[in-house]
Amino acid sequence: MKYLYLLWSNLRRKKMRSVLTVLSILVAFMLFAYLGAIRQGFSQGIDVAGLDRLIVRHKVSLIQPLPVAYESRIEQVEGVVDAIHQSWFGGVYQKPTNFFPQMPVEPEEYLAMYPEILLSDDERKAWLATRSGAIAGRGIADRFGWKVGDRIPINATIWTRKGGEQTWEFDLVGIYEGAEQSTDTTLFLFRYDFFDESRQFGQGQVGWYTVRIADPARSAEIAAAVDEVFANSQYETKTEAEGAFVQGFADQIGDVSTIIMAIVAAVFFTILLVAGNTMAYAVRERTNELAVLKALGFTDRGVLGLVLGECALLTAIGGGLGLLFGWLLVGMGDPTNGSLPVFFVPNRVLTAGIALIAVMAFLAGILPALQAQRLQIADALRR
Amino acid sequence: MAGPFNWLSQILSISLFNLRTLPQRLGSSGTAVFGIAGVVAVMVSVLSIAEGILRTMQNSASPDNVIVLRSGATSEMMSWVLGDDVRVIAEAPGLARDADGALASPELFVIVTLQKKSTGTDANVPLRGVTRTAPLVRDDFELVEGRMFEWGRNEVVVGRGAQLEFAGLEIGSSISVAKEEWPVVGVFEADGGLAETEIWVDALVLQPAYQRGNSYQAVYAKLESPDAFPSFKDALTSDPRLTVSPMRETEYYAEQSAVLYNLITGLGTLVAVIMGLGAIFGALNTMYTAVSARAREIATLRALGFHSGPVIVSVLTESLLLALVGGSIGAVLAWLAFDGFRAATLNWASFSQVAFAFEVSPALLARGIIFALVIGLVGGLFPAVRAARQPVSEALREQ
């Protein structure tokens, strides 16, 4: 404890320099937390994909529809517990840049398939009772200021209504919450029966199926069995685990993870050298004082610890504040204005950040600390 | 009368004096240079992605071309146009014509799943069904390898970008569509535009394969001149038989790339600004150190009658010079590493892949260096003012 005061006095010796060093470390860790959140946003879904869920889509591409009648045939495959269908509506709310997913589904089956979507009993009942009813995630509802009871007009880009009308009006009967922080709360879900009877064309066709299986260990085998059922039919399918499907989608965007990791590495490499050099300079400047300390009876290891401790203190203050500020900045909102389905700093990023603080403190401090340890009193005092 | 001249000569002599002492402070100056180089390198690299995408989209657009989509559709993917409508559109005034009729090209736009070479994972590759007019509407379409597909046959030609990014598109291999194998017979280029990520096939072959009957998704057309657009648009929008919206290609592609461009530019700028703050702290540290190390020299100069103005300018000169060196190193590093680097990403607007090359343009290099100079200016200003304000008597007494 008594050394802490000594460390603190050393840092206060050149206040400006200490503050600037802390600030540059702070910036590095702030970026670390922020980019961690962006990375999470892009790879959303991979972590939360159910191990016991498969996705069935048209073999050639996702944009080609499958018949709604496939549902019961998929459910007959051995090992399948339940199958539901979803479709891509692709509408626009107010203006084209307001992007969020809208999907016609069968309410009860959908909610059973996705237990992470939390809807109150009253809202569930209201949805079942209202043909034009829709539910929205908390994230998207907050973004547009929607409340239960609002009438939401969505302009169709693909699915015009019978008679050529392009605007679909939905009654918002519920707002769902996510069971986890990583649950996507930007979805807008409405009823398939209402959709199917109102659309101008494409009756009886759906986008893709989500399938729940009894035993995740058998997913590859069951996926093959599903594809086998529809082989050589007019609509051949490709079935894969939900995780693989989502991963594939993220890969389509490109290797965002690699790009972000490269930026983080560049930032750290740069800042580590800048901050490390400053700390080394601060120690060199005090060669005399360190020699005095040694003359007073501080051991070599004691001086080593002192210098290392000083670097560690600087890094810990800067890094800790940086992670905190990064976390606060992320809390202020998504820079893409809603293009990312989730935007938060995952705990593992914070943990990794704390580990990085320790590593950085050691790397930045070890050279000047060793120098201080090796210092010969007589030489140093004469300088 | 010698006032201004005196000032200039003072600035010059102090600056030269400062710069001559630079080698003694290599460590701390090098740190500042390195920090700024890192910031500029990251900034230029990230923004070159956005520039590359923008360039691809711009190269796709021709000022005298239009695209006609169904009203309400924001991209080809979502649009549909019936065969009868195509005939009506082709009769509209303002279109360029040749012996066979109007230069209007009805096209289908679907996706087919292929593997990305770099990751081995599935990617949505655009598959375009075209008619004989398509290459006439697009002046830059050029077959560079193999031959054009034969009309009416299940053959395809692939864009250069698609061939580089996706597996199984060499001449002689084939893609699976609708339970058939369609052989690849040629490779084309389109001036680096979006079409180079696509696979082309006869529209009449694609229609039955995707159960599209006699319908298309968009009509591309060439105008007599860019000025003919208003009359063409009026004719289509006032025709009761049609519910379509015509757009200039330039506007359409600008809109298509807007989301992606803004996303990358926004994130890139944000990262650069935060990193730039870090570099400013580094530069401040360096310049404070430099100034405090020379406190006595500066005080001596001022005691000799040098003004504080030239002292400030000289410190700023040094910091700007360091920033210029750092910025240039960073910009050149980014240019060496990434200019022309090829990649592909998902274009949300069309739900399909777009292949592009990173573009480290001269403008971007200039932006990087200007950013470095701003860092140098801010990082040098406060230490410079401190150096000039320090009371002469105190500074002389130090150490």
Confidence grade of residue A300 (pLDDT, cut at 50, 70, 90): confident
B36 and B116 inside one domain: no
pLDDT of residue A49: 65
Cβ neighbours of B277 in A, within 8 Å: 23, 27
Q: How many whole angstroms separate alpha carbon A187 and alpha carbon A110?
A: 13
Q: Are residues A169 and A269 in the same domain?
A: no
Is B251 within the bounds of a domain? no
Burial class (CB within 10 angstroms; exposed 0-12, middle 13-18, buried 19+) of A225:
middle
Cα of A157 to nearest chain B Cα, Å: 4
Q: Does B34 touch chain A (CB under 8 A)?
A: yes
Mean pLDDT on A343-347 = 87
Q: Are the C-beta atoms of residues A55 and A245 closer than 8 Å to each other?
A: yes
Amino acid symbol at B266: G
B306 shares a domain with B273 = yes
A99/A226 same-domain check: yes
Tell me: do B235 and B309 sit in the same domain: no
Which residue matches tokens 């490499």?
A269
CA dist B345 and A100 (Å) reads: 19
**Residue B247: inside a domain:** no
Do B76 and B54 lie in one domain? The reply is: no
Give the C-alpha separation, B182 to B156, whole Å. Answer: 7
Q: Same structural domain for residues A95 and A145?
A: yes
Whether residue A80 sits in one domain with residue A26: no
> What is the maximal distance between C-alpha atoms in chain A?
97
Boundary of a domain, candidates B190, B214, B242:
B242
Shortest Cα distance, chain A CAs vs residue B189, angstroms: 23
| Residue that has been written with the tokens 């600030």 in this structure | A23
B24 touching chain A per CB within 8 A: no
For residues B363 and B331, what is the distance between their CA atoms, to the nearest angstrom?
11
Give the DSSP H/E element, type plus range, for residue A340: none
Residues A235 and A299 in one domain: no
Burial class (CB in 10 A: 0-12, 13-18, 19+), B94: buried
Residue B222 DSSP label = E
B356 belongs to a structural domain: yes
Partners of residue A273 in chain B, C-beta under 8 Å: 31, 34-35
pLDDT greater than 80 at residue A123 = yes
**B335 lies in the same domain as B387:** yes
Total structural domains within chain B? 2
Surface of B (262-291) touching A: CB under 8 A: 263, 266-267, 270-271, 274-275, 277-279, 281-282, 284-285, 288-289
Q: Are residues A306 and A367 in the same domain?
A: yes
Q: Which of B70, B113, B358 to mutate to test the interface with A (most CBs of A within 10 A)?
A: B113
Chain B residue with CA closest to A38: the answer is B267
Size of interface A-B (CB pairs under 8 A): 157
Contacts of B353 in chain A (CB under 8 A): 252
- The predicted pLDDT at position B1 comes to 42
Query: What's residue A208's pLDDT?
Result: 95
pLDDT at residue A71, as a whole number: 94
pLDDT over threshold 90, residue B75: no
pLDDT at B216 over 70: yes
- Please name every residue paired with A238 in a beta bridge, in sequence order, or none if there are none: A57
Look at chain A and report how many structural domains it folds into. Answer: 2
Q: Give the domain extent around B187.
A: 72-242
CB contact under 8 A, A31 and B118: no
Of A2-11, A102-111, B160-169, the least confident: A2-11
Q: Check if the beta carbon of residue B351 is closer than 8 Å to that of residue B124.
A: yes
- pLDDT, average across residues B123-134: 92
User: In this model, does residue B197 exceed pLDDT 80?
Assistant: yes
- What is the three-state SS of B302-346? HHCCCCHHHHHHHHHHHHHHHHHHHHHHHHHHHHHHHCCCEEEEE
Between CA B188 and CA B191 the distance in angstroms is 10
Instruction: Judge whether B249 lies within some domain.
Output: no
Same domain, A86 and A15: no
Same-domain pairing of B173 and B225: yes
Per-residue pLDDT, B142: 93
> Is position B248 within any domain?
no
Please tell me the distance from the alpha carbon of residue A87 to that of residue B159, in angstroms, as a whole number. 30
Domain boundary among A187, A219, A253: A253
- Which of A30, A38, A269 faces B267 most closely, judged by CB atoms? A38
Q: B28, A281: Cβ pair inside 8 Å?
A: yes
**Distance of alpha carbon B75 from alpha carbon B85, whole angstroms:** 18
From the list A99, A254, A266, which residue is nearest B38 (CB)? A266
Give the CA diameter of chain B.
Answer: 94
Same domain, residue pair A188 and A301: no
Residues in chain A: 383
One domain for residues B228 and B92? yes
Minimal Cβ distance to B121: which of A251, A266, A281: A251
B261 and B179, same structural domain? no
Would you call B351 an interface residue with chain A, using a CB distance cutoff of 8 Å? yes
> Looking at A53-62, A142-151, B215-224, which range is the least confident one?
A53-62
Of B327, B300, B342, residue with least CA distance to B41 = B327
Check if the beta carbon of residue B321 is closer than 8 Å to that of residue B287: no
Q: Is the pLDDT of residue A116 over 60?
A: yes
Set of chain A residues whose Cβ sits within 8 Å of the Cβ of B118: 255
B344:A17 CB<8 A? no
> In the numeric block, which tokens belong to residue A323?
């992670």
The backbone region for A149, taken as left when phi is positive above 0, alpha when psi lies in -120 to 50, beta otherwise, is left
What residue of A is the nearest CA neighbor of B72? A157
Asked if A79 and A213 sit in the same domain, the reply is: yes
Q: Determine, for residues A27 and B35 on separate chains, whether the beta-carbon distance falls below 8 Å.
A: no
Domain end residue (candidates: A253, A275, A304): A253
In which domain, by residue range, is A348 found? 2-44+255-382
Same domain flag for B79 and B117: yes
Q: Is residue B66 part of a domain?
A: no
pLDDT(A301) > 60: yes
In a domain, B250, yes or no: no
Q: In this structure, are A116 and A11 located in the same domain?
A: no
Same domain, yes or no, for B264 and B213? no
Q: Which of A253, A277, A311 is the last residue of a domain?
A: A253
Interface contact A274-B72, CB threshold 8 A: no
